Structure 1
Amino acid sequence: MKKLKKLHFIILFTIGTSLTSFAQSFGVPTGDKFDTFIINNDRSNNKSEFRMQNRSISFTLSNLSNRMALSYSSIYKGWANNGTEIFSVNTNGSTTMSTAFVGLTIYGSDWAGFSHESMKGTPNYSLLASKSGKLTLINKADTDDGYIGFRVGNIDKMVLSNSGNLGIGTTTPNRKLHVNGNAIITGNTKINGTTNFDDTVTLTKGMNIRGDITSYDTFNVSGTLNFANTDISQQITINKGLNLRLTNIPDSHFSVKNAFGADALYIDTDGKIAIGSVSSESLTEQLNVDGRIKAGGFIADASSFPDYVFANDYQLMSLEAIKAYTTKHHKLPDMPTEKEVINNGLNIKKVMTVSVEKIEELYLHAIAQQELIIQQRKEILALKKSLKDQKESTKIQKENMDGLHKRLEQIEQYIKQK
Structure 2
Amino acid sequence: MKSNLLVFLTLFTTLTVCISSAQCNNPVIFPASNNAGTGGIVCLDGSIVSSVPYPKICFENIRGDMKMVYKDTDTLFTFTKEGRLGIGTLTPSRLLDVNGSANINGDTNINGNVTINNHFLKFAPANNMDAIIQRITPGNMIVNSGGGTSSLYLNYASVYNAGTGGVNIFDGGTTNFAKLWITKGIGNGIESVGGNLVISPSGGRVIISDLSNPNLKIPTANYKLIVQSGILTEKVKVAVQNSANWSDYVFAEDYNLMSLYDVEKYIKKNQHLPNIPSAKELVKEGLDLGEMQAKQMEKIEELTLYMIEMKKEIDSLKKENSELRKKNNKS
Question: Which bracket does the TM-score occupy, shorter chain normalised?
Answer: 0.5 to 0.7
**Higher relative contact order structure (alpha carbons within 8 Å, sequence separation ≥ 6):** 2
What is the CA–CA distance in structure 1 between the aligned matches of 2:237 and 2:72, rounded to whole Å?
A: 74
Task: Kindly report which structure 2 residues correspond to 1:213-362, keeping only aligned pairs within 5 A, or say none.
Answer: 224=141, 226-232=143-149, 234-236=151-153, 238=156, 243-245=166-168, 249-253=174-178, 268-270=201-203, 272-278=205-211, 284-293=222-231, 294-303=233-242, 304=244, 305-362=246-303
1:183-211 per-residue CA deviation (whole Å, 9 max, x = no partner) reads: 988775444653364856542249xxxxx
1:286-313 per-residue CA deviation (whole Å, 9 max, x = no partner) reads: 1111232214231224352222211111
Q: Normalising by structure 2, report the TM-score.
A: 0.56
**In 1, are the aligned partners of 2:178 and 2:200 still within 8 Å (CA)?**
yes
Structure 1's 355 and 89: CA in aligned 2 closer, same or farther, altered over 3 A?
closer
How many residue pairs get aligned? The number is 247
Report what 2:100 is aligned to.
Answer: 166
In the alignment, residue 43 of structure 2 is paired with which amino acid?
S
Task: Kindly report which structure 2 residues correspond to 1:12-411, keeping only aligned pairs within 5 A, or say none.
Answer: 90=20, 93=23, 108-110=32-34, 115-116=43-44, 120-121=49-50, 126-128=58-60, 131=63, 134-138=65-69, 140-143=70-73, 148=76, 160=88, 165-169=99-103, 189-191=114-116, 194-195=119-120, 197=122, 202-205=132-135, 224=141, 226-232=143-149, 234-236=151-153, 238=156, 243-245=166-168, 249-253=174-178, 268-270=201-203, 272-278=205-211, 284-293=222-231, 294-303=233-242, 304=244, 305-388=246-329, 390=330
How far the C-alpha of 1:360 sits from its partner, in A, is 1.7
SS for the counterpart of 2:268 is helix
What is the CA–CA distance in structure 2 between the aligned matches of 1:385 and 1:96, rounded to whole Å?
A: 152
**In 2, are the aligned partners of 1:109 and 1:131 still within 8 Å (CA)?**
yes
What is the CA–CA distance in structure 1 between the aligned matches of 2:107 and 2:311, rounded to whole Å?
A: 82
**In 1, are the aligned partners of 2:31 and 2:41 still within 8 Å (CA)?**
no
Structure 1's 382 and 249: CA in aligned 2 closer, same or farther, altered over 3 A?
same
SS for the counterpart of 2:176 is coil
What percent of counterpart residues are identical?
20
Report what 2:6 is aligned to.
Answer: none
In the alignment, residue 115 of structure 1 is paired with which amino acid?
C
**In 1, are the aligned partners of 2:76 and 2:88 still within 8 Å (CA)?**
yes
SS for the counterpart of 1:226 is coil
In the alignment, residue 251 of structure 1 is paired with which amino acid?
N
Structure 1's 90 and 355: CA in aligned 2 closer, same or farther, altered over 3 A?
same
How far the C-alpha of 1:315 sits from its partner, in A, is 1.0
**In 2, are the aligned partners of 1:276 and 1:290 still within 8 Å (CA)?**
yes
What is the CA–CA distance in structure 1 between the aligned matches of 2:210 and 2:325, rounded to whole Å?
A: 70
Please, which moves more after superposition, 224-233 or 334-343?
Answer: 224-233
1:311-363 per-residue CA deviation (whole Å, 9 max, x = no partner) reads: 11111112122122222222112222222222332222332222222222112
In the alignment, residue 205 of structure 2 is paired with which amino acid?
K
What is the CA–CA distance in structure 1 between the aligned matches of 2:122 and 2:256, rounded to whole Å?
A: 69
Structure 1's 233 and 337: CA in aligned 2 closer, same or farther, altered over 3 A?
farther
SS for the counterpart of 1:274 is strand
Structure 1 or 2: more strand by fraction? 1
Alignment RMSD, CA only? 4.7
Q: What are the ranges of 5 or more consecutive residues in structure 2 without an aligned counterpart?
A: 1-16, 78-86, 91-97, 126-130, 159-163, 181-197
Q: What are the ranges of 5 or more consecutive residues in structure 1 without an aligned counterpart?
A: 1-86, 98-104, 150-158, 170-178, 207-222, 256-264, 395-418
What is the CA–CA distance in structure 2 between the aligned matches of 1:297 and 1:278, rounded to whole Å?
A: 26
What is the CA–CA distance in structure 1 between the aligned matches of 2:328 and 2:122, rounded to whole Å?
A: 100
**In 2, are the aligned partners of 1:186 and 1:205 still within 8 Å (CA)?**
no
Higher Cα Rg: structure 1 or 2? Answer: 1
Structure 1's 160 and 331: CA in aligned 2 closer, same or farther, altered over 3 A?
farther
How far the C-alpha of 1:168 sits from its partner, in A, is 2.8
